[in-house]
Amino acid sequence: KQEVTQIPAALSVPEGENLVLNCSFTDSAIYNLQWFRQDPGKGLTSLLLIQSSQREQTSGRLNASLDKSSGRSTLYIAASQPGDSATYLCAAQGGADYKLSFGAGTTVTVRA
Amino acid sequence: GAGVSQSPRYKVAKRGQDVALRCDPISGHVSLFWYQQALGQGPEFLTYFQNEAQLDKSGLPSDRFFAERPEGSVSTLKIQRTQQEDSAVYLCASSFRTSGRDTQYFGPGTRLTVL
C-alpha cells in the first residue's frame, strides 16, 4: 500500500520568505504526483500535477520537483504572501490504478 | 455551474440515522471519486465511478456505506445506521478522462457530525 508522508506538519514564515514543502512516498511505481491546496472549510484546489516521466512543473511562483527513484517531491513557493496561508497536500496516483494516496498535509502560515 | 458541488455542506445526525450525501460533478466529467477526510488527516479513497459503473468500492469502510451514480452524472453516498466514527468530511471529485488519471477537481465537501 502506498504511504505518503509530509514533513513538517506545520510551518510559519514571515512574508517574503521562500517556502519548501516536502513529500515522500514509499512506492515509486506512480503514475503522477499532485499537489493540492486546502483552505479551512473548503475542498481541495489542484496546484500542480507532475507526470512520472517529468522532473518538475512550474506555475507562477510555484515549482514542484519529482524524484521517483528516491520517492520524493518538493513544492517550492517563492516570495510567500499571507494569501499563501493554507494546508498543502501531496498525493501520489498509483501506476496500476487511479487512486490518489494523500499525505496528511503541511499547514503553512505566512506572517505579514 | 463551473465546479463540483456537494450538498448538504453540513449534516448533523444522531447515531443510528441514515444519511445521504449528494455530489454534482463538472458537466462532461466521466470519472467520479468519493473520499473521506478525518480531522487533521489527508483524504482517504472510498469509491470510484466511471460513468454509471462503480469500478472500485474497495475503500468503503463497511457495508453500511453505499454509493450510486445511476445516470452517470450526479452521485449519492449513503451511510446507513451512522456511527460516531463516521464523523468526517466527505469529499467528491471528478475528472474528465475515463482513466481517472488526470487532474481531479474537488467539491467543498460535506461535514458529517454523528452525535
* Model pLDDT for residues A72-81, shown as the tens digit of each residue: 999 999 999 9
User: Phi-psi category of B113—alpha, beta or left, where left has phi over 0 and alpha has psi -120 to 50?
Assistant: beta
Percent of chain A with pLDDT over 70: 100
- B62-104 pLDDT, tens digit per residue, is 999 999 999 999 999 999 999 999 999 999 999 998 776 788 8
SS3 content of chain A, % helix, strand, coil (to 5): 5, 60, 40
- A25-52 pLDDT, tens digit per residue, is 999 899 999 999 999 888 899 999 999 9
Residue A2 has pLDDT above 70, yes or no: yes
The pLDDT, as a whole number, for residue A21 is: 97
Cell numbers for B41: 488527516
- Tell if the CB–CB gap between B42 and A89 is shorter than 8 Å: yes
Say yes or no: A43 contacts chain B, CB-CB below 8 A: yes
- Long-range contacts, stretch A76-82, CB < 8 angstroms, 24+ apart: A76/A18, A76/A19, A76/A20, A76/A21, A77/A18, A77/A19, A77/A21, A78/A18, A79/A16, A79/A18, A80/A13, A80/A15, A80/A16, A80/A17, A80/A18, A80/A19, A80/A108, A80/A110, A81/A15, A81/A110, A82/A15, A82/A110, A82/A111, A82/A112
- B37-70 pLDDT, tens digit per residue, is 999 899 999 999 999 999 999 999 999 999 999 9
Residue B7 has pLDDT above 60, yes or no: yes
Residue with the bigger pLDDT between A102 and A95: it is A102
Instruction: Give the mean pLDDT of chain A.
Output: 94
The pLDDT, as a whole number, for residue B100 is: 67
The answer to whether the Cα torsion of A104, B95, B91, A43 is positive or negative is positive
Please name the member of B45, B108, B109 whose beta carbon is closest to the beta carbon of A99: B45
The pLDDT, as a whole number, for residue B1 is: 53
Q: Is the peptide bond before B8 cis (omega within 30 degrees of 0)?
A: yes
The pLDDT, as a whole number, for residue A99 is: 85
Contacts A–B by Cβ distance under 8 A = 58
Residues of B with CB under 8 A from a CB of A: 4, 6, 31, 33, 35, 40-45, 48, 56, 59, 91, 93, 99-109, 111
